[in-house]
Structure 1
Amino acid sequence: MYNFSPSTLAYLTQAGWEVGRKEWTIKYRAFLSGEGYDWFPAVADFLAEFGDLLIRFKREDGSSDTIDLDACNASSGFDSRWVTEDYTRRIGQTKFCAIGQAYSNHMLLFMDEAGRVYGGFDDFLCFIGNSGAEAIEVISSNQRERIKEIPE
């Protein structure tokens, strides 16, 4: 089970999430494979439960922001070569898949085979969490100190 804070759980519930949620992932697999991303069980499991959610949360300053877990939309807005070439070199792994966007769609979220989540925007790259659920918690509860930048 997940260890979501009450506020994150409320944001997820408002977005339509519930324990045991299952979405079809065929559209994601087909689209993301066509974009050059690898498909693996960690991504399939995450998108089956959280895919297509638009999570609205409050930032520290009280303004609203989002985590958009439509992986197809996320991938179409970013050049997959940043992930499959530059980011893989910097992280030292070779298999990644887009899972969504955060911060009003400015940051691409992507996952490795172990389920760890990273974020990137152009040259900026960071580690967000050891799982998709942890990444949702870190972002939506404004735990910026847990987001670790990965240098060039």
Structure 2
Amino acid sequence: MQNNQKMDLNQNKWFSFMIMNMKQLLHLINTKQNKNIQIQKKQILSCILSAFICMSISILFYRQFNFQFLNIEQKLQISQLFWKVKKYKQREMNQQQKQNLKIKNELNYQRKKKRKKNYKINKLKELFQISFLYQKMPQYKINKLFLLKIKFHI
């Protein structure tokens, strides 16, 4: 019995480390003090990682995560912390999807612009070649070609 209590206390210690890390994580998420977003993301990820490491150690060494020693308020606090982390991850994912969509649209716009430009260049080349041919040909052939060209375009 005493051994079981000691295990619960050790598990409670790791669990309190996890809660502490999760609270620090929420503090980082809620405050925008840090101007550098990359540093803030690294801090948030390190908090998430350390919280899950604490929980993993607790589960690994004590075979199961024993929630029996927690009161209702602590259980509620845990569920709120995990829900907020999940919400934060979802927000990050949505921002990443928006960024990817923006990049994709920009690339499509550039491709379309390039296609349009190439189309105009090809048309100019074609007109230039036709005008060059017109200069080399006798007058009666030019009239026939011109009439054929008009016939097909109309």
* TM-score bin (small chain): under 0.3
TM-score by length of 2: 0.18
Higher helix share: 2
Larger radius of gyration: 2
